[in-house]
Structure 1
Amino acid sequence: MSLEFFSLETIQELAREYGYWTVFVGIALENTGVPLPGETITLVGGFLAGSGELNYWWVLTSAICGAVLGDNFGYWIGKVGGWPLLVRVGRLFRIPEIQLLEVKAQFLKNAPRAVFFGRFIALLRIFAGPMAGIAQMPYPQFLACNFGGATVWAATMVTLSFFLGRIVPLHELIHSVARFSVVALAIAAFSIALPMWLESRSKKLAVPEEPAADASESLPL
């Protein structure tokens, strides 16, 4: 698909023509793992609600339901067949399986926060559901974090564009939110990579070096 398909003008046209279905389906597909601009779709929905073309509460409900349903699909896809696929991709890029296991364990440790707050972070919003399934996050815990995160995220995005869309151009609002998501991604990546690096470094320092053989013992009598 070309980038023109995902242009702001096209998304606005789809939202005006299909209304709440555009919001619901777009966000559901993105949270399943399909790289669609769900954040932009949600902001457009809130903007159209602010201009009176759509109803605020129906846009919000569509966003929440789409996010919850999409993440559930992503979770089960990841749980059923995500790990073998990840291992094959890792082999393609020469990433050892033990390193993938470390990433899996690290994600599981932070899974509740990743699922709840991941919607505010670029890329993680797409992969949080499948990664939770791959990491075997308990489903009841996932469901609670998923619903809570979807509600907070959708309410924030829809309300933000509902009010600010009246005084700030929509494209500027979308760019500002996108920049925040990228910054959040950088912070999240650093917070995950740093502990892993420190742990790896401490393990290397903990391994005692082999004592050098005494030169006098190696001399023949």
Structure 2
Amino acid sequence: MHVQEWLDTVPPAAVYAVVSLVIGLESLGIPLPGEIVLVSAALLSSQHSDINPLILGACASLGAVIGDSIGYAIGRKGGRPLLAWLGKKFPRHFGEGHVATAERSFQKWGMWAVFFGRFIALLRIFAGPLAGVLRMPYWKFLIANFLGGVIWAGGTTAGVYYVGLVAESYLKKFSFVGLGAAVLIGIASMLIVKRKAKRATEEKEAAEQESVPAAD
């Protein structure tokens, strides 16, 4: 079962909670498909009036900001031994190469790494913990974290929601066009068949008339 299909089976309040929780857990350093869940929920909100895109965006933003802040606190307390432990548990996400790439980004860009890290899958799970490990001042982290989380979550929700509305409207129009085309094709086919049948009847009658004198 796909994420969107599963979300469609739960109440709207649960959708908000699931989106906020998954994004929050991903933000604090657990490799989960937060973006996939958010996109699926936003697309679902464009198809169901029960799911409010504003509430969905707010819940996603809240999960992103709180999750990153918790990840920052964990990274600040655990330090590099935490990254080493995560590398053993999740080598595909916290391997030495990934950590080194993320660390270079943080050292080069600072607050901007936290901000833009929200839009990059690899850095999204690193932003909070790594900022804590590198002892970035919390006020700097909080500003970048808040702006990045709100713009990413709100922008993704709004973009997917409106794309879903446009797509649904297009498909409806397409269905009417298809129906009209089907009717026209049906009428044309009927006229063609009728014309061929009339021609075949006329040819048969002409053949019969020609055969009568020959018999006489």
Which TM-score band (shorter chain)? 0.5 to 0.7
CA distance in 1, matches of 2:46, 2:100: 46
User: Which of 61, 65, 87 is the equivalent residue of 2:62?
Assistant: 65
Shift of 1:116: 0.5
Unmatched 5+ residue regions in structure 2? Answer: 169-216
CA distance in 1, matches of 2:87, 2:63: 30
2:40 matches 1:44: yes
Q: 1:39 to 1:103 in 2, by over 3 A?
A: closer
Report the counterpart of residue 161 of structure 2 in structure 1.
Answer: 162
CA distance in 1, matches of 2:101, 2:12: 46
Report the counterpart of residue 124 of structure 2 in structure 1.
Answer: 125
Unmatched 5+ residue regions in structure 1? Answer: 170-221
Which of 1 and 2 has greater Rg?
2
Shift of 1:55: 0.8
Q: 1:15 to 1:123 in 2, by over 3 A?
A: farther
Report 1:1-221 matches (<5 A).
Answer: 7-14=3-10, 16=12, 18-51=14-47, 52-87=49-84, 104=103, 107-168=106-167
TM-score, normalising length: structure 2: 0.64
Q: 1:107 to 1:128 in 2, by over 3 A?
A: same
Q: 1:102 to 1:121 in 2, by over 3 A?
A: closer
CA distance in 2, matches of 1:114, 1:156: 18
Percentage of identical aligned residues: 40
Report the counterpart of residue 194 of structure 1 in structure 2.
Answer: none
Shift of 1:111: 2.4
Give the aligned CA root-mean-square deviation in angstroms: 2.9
CA distance in 2, matches of 1:140, 1:154: 21
Q: Deviations over 1:54-105 (max 9, x none)?
A: 01211111011000000001111111003123356789x9xxx9xx899747
Report the counterpart of residue 187 of structure 2 in structure 1.
Answer: none
Higher normalized helix content (fraction of residues): 2
Q: Deviations over 1:90-139 (max 9, x none)?
A: 89x9xxx9xx8997476233221111011111121111111111111100
Q: 1:106 to 1:162 in 2, by over 3 A?
A: closer
Aligned residues: 160
Q: Deviations over 1:20-56 (max 9, x none)?
A: 1111111111101111111011112222222223012
Q: 1:30 to 1:88 in 2, by over 3 A?
A: closer
